[in-house]
Amino acid sequence: MSKLYFTYSAMNAGKSAILLQAAHNYREQGMNVMLWTSGHYGAAPDAQSGSIESRIGLDADAHLYRADTDLFAAIEAQHKATPLSSIFFDEAQFLTKAQVWELARVGDELNVPVLCYGLRTDFQGELFEGSAALLAIADDLREARTICHCGKKAVMTARLDETGKALTSGDQVSVGKEVYVSLCRYHWKEALGR
């Protein structure tokens, strides 16, 4: 039985770069991998593939998943056609709870490890649905670390408006990575006036 892994962090910790490096290592050893990223935001509604991109310039093609994607069926079909050594998910916070259970089935029934990378909480300090499910059932939890401007470990993400003020309400997701900043809990509370 293979494991379900969840690597989580605040923004700007290098999760996508870590994922791409790990996938490269598998491929360098002649192993087949399958990469997935969220198709929820910014992708054309009918697009089936996209790209995982890191802030340091690494990128790779990936399948897109949406809330209605049957991940177990898609992975099982690919695994039957070309045996897979590992599955990688970027933006795993956007998985549904049901999809996280499907990924657990991939490890349990197909014996293929699934490595998920994503944010733990949103800008209001609330768990994303996918992150909550992964924190609950993943076999292995890992934290990718980044730092606040004060030098302490950043564990929170704030969303800023165009003036640089931290927002305290709004949709859970807003496309535009430039409006997010990673902060320690103290500076996050200070920015939100809590």
Q: Check which CATH number belongs to the domain holding 63 and give it.
A: 3.40.50.300
For residue 176, pLDDT over 70 is answered with no
Higher pLDDT, 164 or 101: 101
Q: Is residue 178 part of a domain?
A: no
User: In angstroms, rounded to a whole number, what is the distance separating the alpha carbons of residues 149 and 112?
Assistant: 39
In-domain check, residue 189: no
Residues 50, 48: Cα–Cα separation, whole Å: 7
- Maximum separation of any 2 CA atoms in the chain, in Å: 54
Gyration radius of the chain over CA positions: 17
Residue 91 bears catalytic tag: yes
Confidence bin at 127 (pLDDT 50/70/90): very high
Instruction: Give me the catalytic one of 76, 91, 102, 129.
Output: 91
In a domain, 47, yes or no: yes
Number of compact structural domains in the chain: 1
C-alpha to C-alpha distance for 138 and 66, rounded to whole angstroms:
20
**What is the domain range of residue 79?**
4-145
Q: How confident is the model at residue 10 (pLDDT cuts 50, 70, 90)?
A: very high
Higher pLDDT, 109 or 48: 109
Half-sphere exposure in the Cβ direction for 40 (13 Å, CA)? 17
